[in-house]
Amino acid sequence: DIVMTQSPDSLAVSLGERATINCKSSQSVLYSSENRNYLGWYQKKPGQPPKLLLYWASTREAGVPDRFSGSGSGTDFTLTISSLQAEDVAVYYCQQYYGTPLTFGGGTKVEIK
């Protein structure tokens, strides 16, 4: 199984500042024939289902604000919130869909400082 490791477990950021979340996979999730990373990012707020933010590691889902961006390739990925808003308080998960079983990272809790 591909193990997804996120860091940090939690972070507190001031409103308007940048938040950076890291995700590392135990093996590459780059599908070389397509040159695509089989990785997604999700936002989870209490009492709500997860929300897809990004797929292919860096493609924003429709309606997702452009302050959310993704980068990285192979085994190392980053989710960046460029200017944190109050509504961004949530737990963020990375997920690989390169191999079965699909696996999620442990989550990173983002709070306001």
Partner 1 sequence: EVQLVESGGGLVQPGRSLRLSCAASGFTFDDYAMHWVRQVPGKGLEWVAGINWNGVSIGYADSVKGRFTISRDDARNSLYLQMNRLRPEDTALYYCAKDIFRGRGAPTAWFGMDVWGLGTTVIVSS
3-state secondary structure of 72: strand
Whether residue 5 contacts residue 103, with contact meaning beta carbons closer than 8 Å, is answered with no
60 binds partner 1 (CB under 8 A): no
Interaction of residue 104 with partner 1, rule CB under 8 A: yes
User: CA–CA separation, 99 vs 86, rounded Å?
Assistant: 35
Q: Does 52 bind partner 1 (CB under 8 A)?
A: yes
When binding is defined by CB under 8 A, the residue of 24, 61, 67, 89 that contacts partner 1 is 61
CB of 60 to partner 1, least distance (A): 12
Q: Which of 26, 19, 33 is nearest to 89 (CA)?
A: 19
Backbone φ and ψ of 87, nearest 5°: -75, -5
Please tell me whether residue 97 binds partner 1 under the rule CB under 8 A.
yes
Smallest gap from Cβ 55 to partner 1, in A, equals 5
Q: Is 68 in the site for partner 1 (CB under 8 A)?
A: no
With CB under 8 A as the contact rule, the residue among 13, 38, 58, 72 that binds partner 1 is 38
Question: Using the rule CB under 8 A, which residue among 15, 27, 31, 76 binds partner 1?
Answer: 31
Query: Distance between terminal CA atoms of the chain?
Result: 36
